[in-house]
Structure 1
Amino acid sequence: MKKNLLLTALFSSIALISCKKKEVEQAKPIGNYKVVQLSETNSTLTAEYPTVLEGIVDVEIRAKVDGYIEKILVDEGQEVKKGQVLFKLETQTATQDAAAAKARVDAALVEVNRLKPLVDRNIISPVQLETAKANLANARSTYQSIIARINYATIKSPVNGIIGSIPHRIGSYVSSQTAEPLTRVSDISTMYAYFSINEKEQLNLLEQAEGTSFQSKIAKLPAVNLILSNGETFETKGKIETFSGQANTQTGSFNVRASFKNTNKILRSGNTGKVQIPTQVSHVIIIPQKATLELQDKRLALVVGPNNKVKMVPIKVREVPGGQFFVVDEGLTIKDKLIIEGVGILTEDTEIKPVIVDYNEILNPKQ
């Protein structure tokens, strides 16, 4: 009898708990989640890539001979012309050596001139004259070497450009082996912007370009923008010129070079920024990447199903360069309402309260 009473009480407790649980579940509020009504669109999507700028020519200026810096004839940031003197090294010792070498040349020449008539009259052997001529050639070679050393002590700019930093000062001893160059001269009339894109982005970019060959496709790639470090857009658009010959085996990325005309010399070597590449798409459904899930090698999107319940849909997409959007090839239509909020926490058949968001605002978010 007691046993039956205990079982009755236990079942009553379980039933009561189940009822309470159902009441709690029924009382749980339905969450508000943002959704968009999908539609086809024509759009220009922009991908951004960090970049470092370099002048079209960026030359290290180094001493070709050993010596102390006697004069610095330019300043950092100064614009210089090709052939302009930048530095002068001390040449006093070399000048003295040159004078002595010139004297030896003169003496050797006198000796040759003295021996010539004697050989002509068969007074001495021609071997003596040839020896004298060899001595003259050697003396001239030594003299020319010293003169070249003196000339190298006057260091000139090999290109038009802008002077970089000058780490050495007057009195510093420098040579061709000195670790730091005397300075750098950068031709910044055109700037190169170097950046990297991954293999998928490279293929998508080239597939969308017109042309039948690799080079013809590069030639027809759209113009690109340069966003400066202060957030401003550079006044002149640039052009993608080259891709590296092969992908980096460690990162799987390609190095890309774009060029920008720098007419006003605003840009300098070492500046940083972002290169923006526009991607034109027509009559396609575009969705944010963050509105999708990847599960067991499948890409899923969450849409609003019957009775406002979550429905997971497998989709096939193409990545738009920049990592923000997908172009949908299969799985979604313009009839679908895509859930763009709570994607990581919502589960199949969860009832939600859809909050419609403008589709264009998703594609073109305000900065």
Structure 2
Amino acid sequence: MAFTQKISLTTITMVLTMSATLAGCAEEKVAGETPIRPVKVVEVTTPDQGRIMQYSGAIRSKTEIAMGFRVDGKIVERFVDIGQSVKPGEVLARLDSVDYELSVRQAEAELASAEKQVEIAQRALRRAEFLQGKSATSQSALEQSQLAFEQAVSLRAAAASVLEQTRNKVAYSSLKSEVDGIVTAVSAEAGQVVAAGTPVVSVAAAGSMEVEIAVPEVDIAVFKPGKAVKAHLWANSDLKLDGKVREVAGSADSRSRTFAVRVSLPDDPRLLLGMTATVTAKGDDAVPAYVLPLSALSKQDGKPAVWLVDPQTETVRLRPVVVAGFSDDGVRVTEGVAAGDLVVAAGTQFMQPDMKVHLFEGDMQRAGEVVEAAPPAAS
């Protein structure tokens, strides 16, 4: 029993001694080696051309006319529908013109009567002038004849004007297109009684296309009248047109809080009313910038910075940068990096100056395409 207890104590002593020796070796190994950390990197490419704004809208005509009759009456015929092309002078709709035609006949009769009165007054004036030359009548009688003749002439002119007006009303009972265009809206049907000026048919004039977009107040300062923009159609991605801002609304929409902006487009037969177009604009003060992942951004003394990787020494160093803003792909940097630089894209919180990192040639990706580097080999 005593021998067994002695062996056990000796064994325990040897185990503790070996454990202490191995622990010391492990501490010495860790203290003597520099840890190598795997990183995610991106390669800085060419800078962009600044912040790009895109807004979509519908193509419409620059000039759209809501046409209505110049007289009131009952619509008896409508000859056009939405989407139909019309030519100048083409009849769009017609009113019941019976009453206006009767008014024409009445005006014609009144004009004929007025002309007879002029003939009678003219004969009376000539007779009075003859008698005055013979001293057979007074001067006042002659003056009365002259006034009667002048009055008859005035009544004839008034009757002629009334006749012309009634004839115009008959002509106005036919609604005719004044432009070459396309019908975009129909507001009245046959059988409906309309007042003068009530819109009946709307026609969009051909040859003057534009796209209307809604711009939020944060970007409205960029869209000034005369600014050059680009436009492309959803229906035809190959069609890209040079547009120009024609008009900017003076106030925001009460519901959407956006401003209506109209962009004029060049004439092109492929443009059709109602098509969807996207307008692309660039800020006047936009500066080129390198786009980096947002995760690559770090800080140095409270200012933005990024960690650069030296591929020769496979170490990292911190470099201050100037941030111009943000985009859909990340952060836009204008100063501090150059094309070809390798930037740590993730794990920046673990980086320290001159830290060794594990990097392979195949892990170098362009900005915006972040790929994790391979893990270090087991020691």
Question: Same fold per TM (> 0.5)?
Answer: yes
Aligned to 2:337: 332
Which blocks of at least 5 consecutive residues in structure 2 are unaligned?
1-36, 129-140, 371-379
For the residues of structure 1 that align with 2:216 and 2:317, how far apart are their CA atoms?
Answer: 34
For the residues of structure 2 that align with 1:252 and 1:76, how far apart are their CA atoms?
Answer: 29
Aligned to 1:94: 100
Aligned to 1:145: 165
Q: 1:257 aligns with which of 263, 274, 292?
A: 263
Q: 1:195 aligns with which of 205, 208, 213?
A: 213
Q: CA deviation at 1:105?
A: 0.7
Q: CA deviation at 1:156?
A: 1.0
Does the Cα contact within 8 Å between 1:288 and 1:362 map onto a contact in 2?
no
Residues 274-326 of structure 1: CA deviation (Å, up to 9, x unaligned): 123589xxx9552158668899xx98465467999997955232678xx6676
Q: 2:290 aligns with which of 281, 286, 289?
A: 286
**Aligned residues: CA RMSD:** 4.7
Closer, same or farther in 2 for the Cα pair 1:361/1:309, shift >3 Å? closer
Identical counterparts, % of pairs: 17
For the residues of structure 2 that align with 1:239 and 1:274, how far apart are their CA atoms?
Answer: 11
1:275 equivalent in alignment to 2:279 = yes
For the residues of structure 1 that align with 2:95 and 2:298, how far apart are their CA atoms?
Answer: 66
Q: CA deviation at 1:94?
A: 0.8
Residues 214-264 of structure 1: CA deviation (Å, up to 9, x unaligned): 96xx5xx57x23232x5x426352332546498979979793513042314
Aligned to 1:74: 80
Which residue identity is paired with 2:213? F
Closer, same or farther in 2 for the Cα pair 1:291/1:349, shift >3 Å? closer
1:107 equivalent in alignment to 2:113 = yes
Aligned to 1:49: 55
SS of the aligned residue for 1:125 comes to helix
For the residues of structure 2 that align with 1:288 and 1:198, how far apart are their CA atoms?
Answer: 26
Aligned to 1:155: 175
Which residue identity is paired with 1:358? Q
For the residues of structure 2 that align with 1:151 and 1:76, how far apart are their CA atoms?
Answer: 24
Aligned to 2:45: 39
Which residue identity is paired with 1:173? V
Does the Cα contact within 8 Å between 1:243 and 1:255 map onto a contact in 2?
yes
Which residue identity is paired with 1:263? P
Closer, same or farther in 2 for the Cα pair 1:202/1:290, shift >3 Å? farther
For the residues of structure 1 that align with 2:268 and 2:338, how far apart are their CA atoms?
Answer: 46
Q: CA deviation at 1:32?
A: 9.2
For the residues of structure 2 that align with 1:135 and 1:294, how far apart are their CA atoms?
Answer: 94
Aligned to 2:20: none
For the residues of structure 2 that align with 1:175 and 1:294, how far apart are their CA atoms?
Answer: 71
Q: 1:59 aligns with which of 48, 65, 70?
A: 65
Residues 73-104 of structure 1: CA deviation (Å, up to 9, x unaligned): 22321111112111111110111111111101
Residues 34-89 of structure 1: CA deviation (Å, up to 9, x unaligned): 64221334779864222232113221112211011122122321111112111111
Closer, same or farther in 2 for the Cα pair 1:310/1:160, shift >3 Å? farther
For the residues of structure 1 that align with 2:205 and 2:88, how far apart are their CA atoms?
Answer: 10
Residues 181-238 of structure 1: CA deviation (Å, up to 9, x unaligned): 21211124342123366798688899xxxxxxx96xx5xx57x23232x5x4263523
TM (norm. structure 2) is 0.63
Does the Cα contact within 8 Å between 1:40 and 1:284 map onto a contact in 2?
no
Aligned to 1:176: 196
Question: Alignment length, in residue pairs?
Answer: 305
Residues 103-144 of structure 1: CA deviation (Å, up to 9, x unaligned): 011101111111102112217521212222222222222222
SS of the aligned residue for 1:40 comes to coil
Q: 2:366 aligns with which of 343, 354, 359?
A: 359
Q: CA deviation at 1:159?
A: 0.7
Aligned to 1:186: 204
For the residues of structure 2 that align with 1:243 and 1:356, how far apart are their CA atoms?
Answer: 50
Which residue identity is paired with 2:337? L
Does the Cα contact within 8 Å between 2:293 and 2:367 map onto a contact in 1?
no
TM (norm. structure 1) is 0.65
Residues 323-344 of structure 1: CA deviation (Å, up to 9, x unaligned): 66765322334434153x7xxx
